[in-house]
Amino acid sequence: MYVVINADDLGLHPAVQRAVDELGRRGVLTSASLLVNGPLAEQAARTTSVALGVHLNILRGRPVLPAGRLGTLVDTAGNFLGDYWRLARRAAAGRLDLRQVEDEWEAQLRRALDLGVQPDHLDSEKHIHCWPALMPIVCRLARRYNIAWVRRTVERGWPIGSAGGLLRVLLLRWWAGRHRPADAVRWPDAVWGIACQGRRLSARRLGAYLRRLESAQVVEVVCHPGDPRADDPPLPDAYGRMRVARQWRAEYETLAGGGWREVLQEAGASLVSYRDVP
């Protein structure tokens, strides 16, 4: 079994950058997903402590393409909507132009390449790429840019965590049942870290999860560590209300606290990045 421990939101905030750099140096974190429209994207693209993928985004901040080309994705100020359910309602009403989604996501991939990043995986803000209408788009882009891995967010078994986490797990699992395999694109067999977030993201719980898996070859741990400081700037207003900052410190401390390699060794798992998976 191969396990990838991946931090989302690299490029969003200095707290995330510090956590990724430190946990990468410690050998706990192996991978991170770059938010190319984040305020620190250029600095984050120079990260060498972990392998990098791209965190595709049509939810927060300003798009890479001119807002005038993305009328169904942005508000009157030219920002993404910043609210998951507002975007979901727009999609459910058939008012989301999928061509615009593909154009913007391709522009984000091109920006990552321009910044010197060779992505080894794709995922997205709030797992929006897992919406059944959008997964074919991200797989098509992965093929186009020779990116082997796309996160398919399936947490297996009966998850233990918050009620909100349980709901997310079940909804993502239902959507995954409607995904169809794509040539030359691989999905991890399972993920972990959707129901168990914050203090619940622990080595002990990961070990229990891995022991329950049968025939899983590749598992991704999804995490959001951050190392905030008192003089850090606030999150940009254009990103809307974000709860992720509540997870930063807890997940950074639990990842830095040790025990992860021992748990993986007991499970017979190797800690790798996506580019290291045979």
Which are the catalytic amino acids?
8
Half-sphere exposure of 175 (CA within 13 A, CB side): 20
Whether 191 and 221 have beta carbons less than 8 Å apart is answered as: yes
Q: Of 184, 66, 80, nearest to 124 (Cα)?
A: 80
DSSP, res 259: -
Whether 111 and 82 have beta carbons less than 8 Å apart is answered as: no
Crossing angle for the helix pair 98-114 and 135-144, to the nearest 10 degrees: 40
Q: Of 127, 140, 257, nearest to 191 (Cα)?
A: 127
Rounded Cα–Cα distance for residues 278 and 272 (Å):
10
Tokens standing for residue 273: 């990045």
Crossing angle for the helix pair 245-256 and 14-26, to the nearest 10 degrees: 20
